Amino acid sequence: RRQAEAARIREKYPDRIPVIVEKAERTDIPDIDKKKYLVPADLTVGQFVYVVRKRIKLSAEKAIFIFVKNILPPTAAMMSAIYEENKDEDGFLYMTYSGENTFGAF
């Protein structure tokens, strides 16, 4: 079902990327109110992190880490590049957020 949804999204919005954002297990960071995003392809990971921060109303002194397949993507990387390299077979890019850097980096 998600595969058809992702294909429909990519067809209708070719300059956008379907992303699903989920909270990591065992983190004390707030829940996000919206899990599915249509992200502009030219957005950087850092800009998307800012979008997520605002959605969960995270205070400035709190850290947030966003992972793709348990790896911290570079903040300057384009979301389109991360999508092409890491999209799921259902056509969505899955990202996990946490208040702790629990995984490694590239």
Using pLDDT thresholds of 50, 70 and 90, give the confidence band for residue 105.
low
Is the entire prediction scored with pTM above 0.85? Answer: yes
Q: Which residues make beta-bridge pairs with 39?
A: 17
Q: Are 56 and 30 in contact (CB under 8 A)?
A: yes
Q: Are 23 and 33 in contact (CB under 8 A)?
A: no
In tens, the pLDDT along 4-20 reads 999 999 999 999 999 99
- Strands 36-40 and 104-105, sheet pairing: unpaired
Q: How far apart are CA 42 and CA 77, in angstroms?
A: 9
Mean per-residue pLDDT of the chain:
92
In tens, the pLDDT along 52-91 reads 999 999 888 889 999 999 999 999 999 999 999 999 999 9
In tens, the pLDDT along 30-58 reads 999 899 999 999 999 999 999 999 999 98
Query: Going from the N-terminus, what domains does the chain have, and what CATH number goes with each?
Result: 2-100 (3.10.20.90)
